[in-house]
A and B are shown apart, each in its own frame.
Chain A
Amino acid sequence: MTGSKRKNKNKAILYIAILFPLLLLLFSLCLGTLRVSLKEVLEILLARISGWPSDLLTTPAANIILNIRLPRVLLALLAGAAFSVSGASLQSLFRNPLVNEYILGVSFGAGFGGAASLVLFSRNFPPQVLAFACGLLAVVLVLVISEGARNTLVAVLLTGIIVSALFQALLSTLEFIASPYALQALFFWLLGSFSQATWPDLAWSAPLILVGLVFLLKLGWRINVLSLSDDEARSLGLAVKRERILIICLATLVTSAVVAIAGIIGWVGLIVPHAVRGLVGSDNRLVLPVSAGLGASLMLLADDLIRTLLPFEFPVGILTSLVGIPFFLYLISRARTSWS
């Protein structure tokens, strides 16, 4: 393919990746037990955004759309984008297509932090804080312990499994001592679901996720260079250690901000970047934004399916694991060959 043709193709993919999640958002607001037409949805949204008092806003449909479906749909979009972008960034940083936030122990670390916050402070304190702190603690543990083995991938993967197991054990301890009421909430939350999304939750998590995503997207070029060997990146002028830490912190931030309110949803960050690299190549200036769009769309589609096809609330985290784990095994089986 010639240069300009490829550029046009990539541009088209980028626009689709931005527009598709927005269209899907409108479509998803129509779905549910109460069918609302697209026209009605648009009118309700416009009335809400314009701020004019309107009869439309007092209808039950408006209440369902604005207070139940909209936060849920937005959380699904943000979660998909967050997992995919952090997955793609970490894969480049560790130079391995199998790495993601799940493998590095972030998910269970953040899960434990969020759970501890729920049990200790109930809803009086934002769970994002402890989720981020424990997510970061998990990565640091994995990196420090595996450093002894020169950060080889096998060492990182094994340590990740062990650190995840540690936080799972801590989680079990929490579940053991939690009150029956807290336990039920904890149990459902941990399986990963967007069904409990509320505006106050989003008010804490959404800005963290958005800020983290913007910075990660702006770091796309640096992430390219950091995927070379450390010696090369250093000789090209990068402050390798500092820049790595920054990117790991940002990836942990966006992931744990999602986990804090939606629970543990794994494997999205593994599947989406892989598909995107097959589509647009390896350049993270393109891979990261397209992953954000595709990840957001897939996550929302998965949640839509669960909402409309099943008569009960099935945790989306189970669905992503059921799809993601076979995919991970498939990647491992051909890990020696190539990335895409």
Chain B
Amino acid sequence: MQIRVERLRVRHENFELRVDNLHFSANRVSALVGPNGAGKSTLLKALSGVIKPVAGSIFVDGRELSRLRGSERARLVSYVPQEHSTALNFRVFDFILMGRSGYLNIFSPPARADYEKTEEVISYLGLEALAARKCQELSSGERRIVLIARALAQDSKIILLDEPTTFLDLKHEMEIINLLRKLAEDRGKTIITSVHSIDLIPRLADFLVMIKNGQILSAGPTTEIFRAELLGTLFDYPLRVVEADGRQLILR
């Protein structure tokens, strides 16, 4: 499933984001990168339908996102926030089960099919040991995985993630990166994620969108635009990209 953005303008908390034309291909991992406050999260929230654009359109496989009902939208696009709110201390299983809400009538609790989908996701991600625990007992790495599990239970072709690896240690960071690649390659998901540390991008993303001051600085295949000059301009800091072991590395 692909996403097309046309003449989009989004306003969020005294901030305006403008995207004239942007296209995310199906079954790919796309990364949004840029300085803090550039508009990455705002773009993700607009793409997920959480905030409505002031002007312009977002098309998911040709269907305009803002015209869809909430439940229809939830079956197409899921959104993984950085942290889930923890007002109530749900069990991990019930938390993942919430991904099924878009398939439920307002007065119906989850049914057998929803439980089965949740169990399938739990075994796919190997989370059996966590399922009976409470969300507030989890480590930050476990919480990120559980949030991704909820998005998988939502069973949408498109998954949007807001900096899913920030504050994680190296092992958990790599687990998430590998999982996102696997989801795109094996499960045919279209992944769009904002990324804080640019070092990860060559391993993670097929497609790169550079955002600065609420506008797109550059967008294209990672192999083409992951360049020192562009990245330097993006972050206002001189960088070097060197190659070692066939991989691109950033030197600051």
Asked if A221 and B109 make an inter-chain contact with CB atoms under 8 angstroms apart, the answer reads yes
- B79 neighbours in A (Cβ, 8 Å): 231-232, 235
Question: Which stretch, B68-76, B203-211, B215-223, B228-236, touches the partner chain A?
Answer: B68-76
- A226 CB to closest chain B CB, in angstroms? 10
B window 57-102: CB within 8 A of A: 70-75, 77-79, 81, 84-85, 87-91, 94, 98-99, 101-102
User: Which chain A residues lie closer than 8 Å to B103 at the CB level?
Assistant: 237
Residue numbers in A under 8 Å from B106 (CB-CB):
219, 222, 243
Q: Contact check, B101 vs A238: say whether CB atoms are below 8 A apart.
A: yes
> Could you say which of A2, A92, A220, A234 contacts B70, with CB atoms under 8 Å apart?
A234
Residue of A nearest to B151 (CB): A235
B107 on the A face (CB < 8 A): yes
Q: B40-62 CB contact bits vs A (8 Å, 1 = yes)?
A: 00000100111000000000000
Which residue of A3, A227, A238 is within 8 Å of B88 (Cβ)? A227
Across the interface, do B109 and A237 meet the contact criterion of CB distance under 8 Å? no
Q: Is A236 an interface residue (CB 8 A)?
A: yes
Whether the pair A228, B94 counts as a contact (CB closer than 8 A) is no
How many residues in B have their beta carbons less than 8 Å from beta carbons of A? 38
Flag if A232 contacts B94 (CB, 8 Å): no
**Set A96, A224, A238, A239: member contacting B90, Cβ < 8 A:** A224
Chain B residues with CB under 8 Å of A243's CB are: 106
A228: contacting residue among B84, B104, B132, CB under 8 A: B84
* Residues in A whose Cβ lies below 8 Å from that of B141: none
Chain A 120-131 interface mask (CB, 8 Å, partner B; 1/0): 000000000000
Contact A228/B85 with A236-B99, A243-B106 known, Cβ cut-off 8 Å? yes
Knowing A237-B75, A239-B70 touch, does A221 contact B110 (C-beta < 8 A)? yes
- B66 CB to closest chain A CB, in angstroms? 13
B178 at the interface (CB under 8 A from A): no
Q: Which residues of B contact A282 (CB under 8 A)?
A: 88-90
Given A236-B99, A236-B101, A237-B70, decide whether A231 and B81 contact each other with a Cβ distance below 8 A.
Answer: yes
Chain A residues in the interface with B (C-beta under 8 A): 1-3, 6, 92, 95-96, 215, 218-222, 224-225, 227-229, 231-232, 234-239, 243, 281-283, 285, 338-340
Q: List 5 A-B contacts (CB under 8 A).
A: A221-B110, A227-B88, A232-B84, A235-B79, A339-B87
